[in-house]
Structure 1
């Protein structure tokens, strides 16, 4: 299993890094479009669609994003889209998690599929917009999620006492969430310190938030982003638990599916764009 995880991670990095480093946005947009289409297929399977229906949902997600790119709309998304998406995640995600896995299948299937189509399409638009802001910006946005997840894992293992959502993800604890926030705070401090010495990758999310919103809102914003990363993770876990699935698919050997890797990014990316909208 460990060997599979390492090989898959190396292959993904070999594909992702050239696309991220390319001056043109097209390679990264195309690669991420393929991944978000695969995530749409997984979402369809988790929510009761058969093979053909799940493929159709994946294609619908990819076509929506592709149309936004073709018309040029993906390159100039209004800030209101990011704010509406973030509000939807806060309100809708909170309601869904409060109801729990037993209530999820009772939501009309069409509604669940439309929600998946929307959250994946908007996340792709935010990912593309973040890439336009520069390598430092998109990498720091992704690292917020990764740092929160890693710090939460180790903090939860060492300090975890109070369960966060036992019916959805028994391993998560409130102590893990707080550890994740501390981890992201340390990441932001270290990144901004490094930017003063070496800023070849361009401004990060952290320096953009500090410059545009000030120190207090930087701290509040990072706390909010950590919270949203947990919501994204739990919503996908809830859908899997309701479907009786351990992973969203087996597309990524050793890692599960695409959704398993991007679930926390889905709400965080639009929120990052909302918080740093000019």
Structure 2
């Protein structure tokens, strides 16, 4: 299993790095579009669609994103869209997690499918806009989620006592959440310090934008909020899988599960990070 995980990670890194490093947006947009399409296919499977129906959902999400390509700049600067997305994640996420794995199937299937399709569409737009903003901005959002996940894992193993959501994800603890927040705040402070010490020679990251717009107090609150929403994204996907008794969203990524398993925490973070950066 470890060998599979390492090989898959190296292959994904070899594909991702060139798309990240080129200045043009379209290579990253195409790569992320493929990931979103695969995630939509997995979403269809998890929510009761036939194999053909799941492929159709994946194609529909890819088509919606493709048709939005020429309008991403306009959509990216539409405050109502992003505040709606942020509010939807905060309110909707709280309600869905409160309902637990038994509450999710009670929603009508078209509603469940629509939620996944809209979430993936918004995430793709936010990701492409983040790449257009600059590599530093894009990486700062990715690294926020990765740092939160890594710090939460080790903090939870070392200090975890109180379960966060035992009916959804028994391995997660409140101590892991606090550790994730501490890890991200440390990363964000160091990142911002390095940026400021360069004298503005690179495009601003999410962290420097938050600091410029809200000061240190707002900076700390925003980073903690984004970490909490990454946890909501992770728990939301776990809830959907647990409702149908699935361990992974698919087997597309050997050793890692499916695409949704890898991007679940990114789904709320990218739209909300984009919203906060536009303040």
What is the CA–CA distance in structure 2 between the aligned matches of 1:230 and 1:88, rounded to whole Å? Answer: 15
Pairwise CA distance, 1:25: 0.7
Distance in 2 of aligned mates of 1:79 and 1:171? 37
> Are 1:171 and 2:171 counterparts?
yes
Residue aligned with 1:76, SS: helix
**Cα deviation code 1:211-270 (max 9, x no counterpart):** 122221111111110110000000000000011110000101111100000000000000
Report matched runs for 1:1-278 at 5 Å. 1-69=1-69, 72-77=70-75, 78-198=78-198, 202-278=203-279
SS at match of 2:172: strand
8 A contact 1:79–1:273 mirrored in 2: no
Please report how far the alpha carbon of residue 192 of structure 1 lies from its aligned counterpart in structure 2 after TM superposition. Answer: 1.3
Cα distance between partner residues in 1 of 2:178 and 2:10: 30
What's the Cα RMSD here?
1.1
TM-score normalized by the length of structure 1: 0.97
* Cα distance change of structure 1 residues 200 and 35 upon mapping to structure 2, 3 Å threshold: farther
Across the two proteins, how many residue pairs are aligned to each other?
276
Residue 146 of structure 1 and its aligned partner are, at CA, apart by 0.6
Structure 1 171/51 Cα, relative in aligned 2: closer, same or farther at 3 Å? same
Unmatched 5+ stretches in structure 1:
none
Q: Which runs of structure 1 show a deviation greater than 2 angstroms over 4 or more consecutive aligned residues?
A: 196-202
Query: 1:178 Cα deviation (Å)?
Result: 0.6
The TM-score normalised by the length of structure 2 is 0.97
Q: Judge conservation of contact 1:136–1:204 (CA < 8 Å) in 2.
A: yes
CA–CA separation in structure 1 for the residues paired with 2:121 and 2:238? 20
